[in-house]
Structure 1
């Protein structure tokens, strides 16, 4: 049998920070991060140059994972671009209703990092540009008359859905309203035949 290898200090810091900054926000203290990772303060500065560098790297890792999840959700929905876009909203609705949901990591970081020059902001901007590109490609394939603008609208809807879900409105969960709004965005300006759900029963 091969003994399991414990991750090194850099990886432990990333894992601890990825969890703690999501559950407690990016304002979590350095001492808490070091304790959770089981590393000395020296490791933080050797690998990341300080907490700001660690936060930026955690956001970078998280965005790569989340973009992959967006792609997987759309691919699992099939080839029809309308179905693929709505599948994203449906999946986010399910995530936002989950017991472990603490809101959008990226919205929270942008609000908490008041220094506009913090390196984390460029990571979140890049993430949003990537999502915008994914959505624009789908709207273009769909034949939407304003694919770039529709992607803007869908991004705003995604932000709103995740922000509303973080408030845990048990009496009025946002998923249903978000789905209907998403349909309006996706179907705007399309011929009636293009808006029919290909998965619906005849």
Structure 2
């Protein structure tokens, strides 16, 4: 990388913080962040107003990337809403089984940021509202009787999958159990004829 294309202090801080807050949590020290980014302390305050602002911006950046991944996963699965939703669950199951998986950064941040007024909490709330909207839209298109409630259930299931995956249960990986639960959530609100037709199509 040449000097002309080397990221500036703001981008280096974001890259360092995105990595370190995932591997070490949002409690990682400022000195460690500055050292990893190779920037002076003043850069942190000039660009983000302090560590809290940096954490919030890292979460915002990560949520944008992850929402794009959710959309891409569903789009790659085709047009059938049931298949699109289950494709998300399958992909998360694979991610949670990866050896370097450290858990959900948003759950970890919400638990670690004890100040309820921390700006990071609004970012994670917005992220979950966005995912809820994505799930609700697919469930409504499928003709689910309670798409909003089923989306709540799927979000809880996703949180559980990612939390369990972080615990590394090598003897009992959660993906298969979560897949079956997701199928139940999706199918429970459908007319019986629709479920029969869909299941016969996958047989």
Does the alignment reach a TM-score above 0.5? Answer: yes
Matches within 5 A, 1:1-12: 5-12=5-12
Q: Deviations over 1:7-30 (max 9, x none)?
A: 000000000000000000000000
1:176, distance to aligned residue in structure 2 (A): 0.5
Looking at structure 1, the residues matched to 133 and 93 of structure 2 have their Cα atoms a distance apart, in angstroms, of 21
Output one character per residue of 1:47-101: Cα deviation in whole Å (capped at 9) or x when no partner. 0000000000000000000000000000000000000000000000000000111
1:108-147 pair list within 5 angstroms: 108-147=108-147
Q: Which runs of 5+ in 2 are unaligned?
A: none
TM-score normalised by the chain length of structure 2: 0.96
CA 1:162–1:91: 2 relative to 1, 3 Å: same
Q: Tell me how many residue pairs correspond in the alignment.
A: 200
Alignment match, 2:172: 172
Residue 23 of structure 1 corresponds to which residue in structure 2? 23
Cα distance per residue 1:82-135 (max 9 Å; x no partner): 000000000000000001110000000000000000000000000000000000
Report the TM-score when normalising by structure 1: 0.96
RMSD over equivalenced CA pairs, Å: 1.3
Aligned ranges 1:96-111 → 2 under 5 Å: 96-111=96-111
Structure 1: state its 5+ residue gaps: none
Please give the alpha-carbon distance, in whole angstroms, between the structure 2 residues aligned to 1:100 and 1:81.
Answer: 30
In structure 1, distance between residues paired with 2:166 and 2:200: 32
Instruction: Work out the CA distance in 2 between the residues paired with 1:6 and 1:128.
Output: 34
Write 1 or 2 for the structure with the bigger share of helix: 2
Report runs of 4+ in structure 1 exceeding 3 Å deviation: none
